[in-house]
Amino acid sequence: MSTLGSRIKNLRIEKRMTGDELGKVLGISKSTISLYEHNKSTPDDNIKKKICSYFNVSFDWLMGISPIRSVGINQNPGKGVKIPVLGCIATGIPIETTEDILDYEEITPELAATGKFFALKIHGRSMEPRMLDGDVVIVKRQDDVESGDIAIILVNGNEATVKRVKKQTDGITLIATNTSVYEPHFYSNKEIKKLPVQILGKAVELRGKL
């Protein structure tokens, strides 16, 4: 579960900073940073505001009150924009607060300006040969897609899956490329609400391993 300490740690790691470097920015020691990150001490409101200002995140997000942070991605003008590569996404845990960050990928500032993005590492063979185990898919966050789009979907609270979506008036069908591993599965409108079937985003780019 995400805590104040883990959020501070993730912000520092995203910025590729050491505890000593962050301590200098905030005017405190690296040992104090370590205490914060391990939830053995809590920063006062002044330090919290400095953290929010430096990392450009909202106070409510830092405190775990809101799942939305001011900037979901770190951007340097004129350079690539870094987005987190997630190993998995679980139900009920906002993408911004997940601790399962494997790495970071860069997208162009032009693409980043069109919305919020994250990346997901592919597990399994259901989308072969187009997407292979270990590939990384760049995802634009949105709660709906067009019929025929490849989407990242949570079904019944399980780990997120990557499938092509076919929309019908009475429900949707999730379609794998490799039908020998995963047969097309239809969910009625009633099942979509009951399970639920939740669309997290649209796959916009694939990055394969050599």
114, amino acid identity: T
- What pLDDT score does 68 carry? 62
Q: Which of 9, 82, 116, 126 is catalytic?
A: 126
Locate 32 and state its tokens.
């104090």
Tell me the C-alpha distance between 131 and 124, whole Å.
9
- What pLDDT score does 183 carry? 87
The single-letter DSSP state of residue 108 is -
Locate 194 and state its tokens.
């009951």
State which residues of the chain have pLDDT below 70: 1, 66-79, 88-100, 128, 159, 209-210
Sign of CA dihedral 133, 96, 104, 73: positive
Sort strands 81-86 and 117-121 into parallel, antiparallel or unpaired.
parallel
- What pLDDT score does 88 carry? 66
Tell me the C-alpha distance between 173 and 163, whole Å.
9
pLDDT digits (tens, 9 = 90+) for 119-165: 988 877 777 677 777 888 899 999 999 999 999 998 887 767 888 99
What backbone phi and psi angles, to 5 degrees, belong to 155?
-120, 120
Q: Are 201 and 139 in contact (CB under 8 A)?
A: yes
Q: Which of 163, 166, 167, 209 is catalytic?
A: 163
**Residue 41 among the catalytic residues:** no
Q: Domains in the chain and their CATH numbers?
A: 1-71 (1.10.260.40), 76-210 (2.10.109.10)
- What pLDDT score does 26 carry? 92
- What pLDDT score does 60 carry? 76
Locate 65 and state its tokens.
């009150």
Tell me the C-alpha distance between 2 and 24, whole Å.
25
pTM: 0.58
